[in-house]
Structure formats: structure tokens, C-alpha cells
Amino acid sequence: MDEKILEILAEKCGVEPEDLKEDMDIDLFEEGLLDSFAVLGLLVDFDEKLGVKLEITEVDRADINTPNKVIEVVSKRG
């Protein structure tokens, strides 16, 4: 599951999963890897590919600003 989440996240960030693994606590928004639009695509993919439905008003930026946090939020629901 974690691998899958990371794969989807990496695709939206425009990098390889291995790149994200280098620093799992990197701030995705500060680094310019994610923006509001990319987050929406991310939520759609989580729903379609993993069956994890998250509403946009449910997740604050602060809850999903690092790869580790994204994995935590999504796997809690999975």
C-alpha cells in the first residue's frame, strides 16, 4: 500500500518514487513539488486507484505536506 501511495504521489510531483524516498519529510509545497491543483489530482487518483475517498475540505495543507504525512493520512483510510 505504502509503495502505491508513494508512486501516485511521485507522479503528481513529476519525480520518481526513489527521489521522494531520499527525504520522506521534505515539505512538498515549499519545494514547489505540489500546489492546490496537484493536490486535487492526487485526491482523484487515491479515489480511483486505491479506493480511498478523501474530501478536499477534509485535508489541510499541514496534514499532507510531506511524503510521510501523505502515506499516514491515506493508509489510515485504506
Q: Which residues bind other proteins (CB under 8 A)?
A: 32, 36-37, 40-41, 43-44, 47-48, 55-58
Helix, coil or strand: residue 38: helix
CB 38 within 8 A of CB 45: no
Select 18 or 60, whichever has its Cβ closest to other proteins: 60
Report the C-alpha gap between 62 and 49 in whole angstroms: 24
The least distance separating other proteins from the CB of residue 11, rounded to whole angstroms, comes to 12
Select 47 or 63, whichever has its Cβ closest to other proteins: 47
Select 22 or 56, whichever has its Cβ closest to other proteins: 56
C-beta contacts of 56-60 below 8 A and 24+ residues apart: none
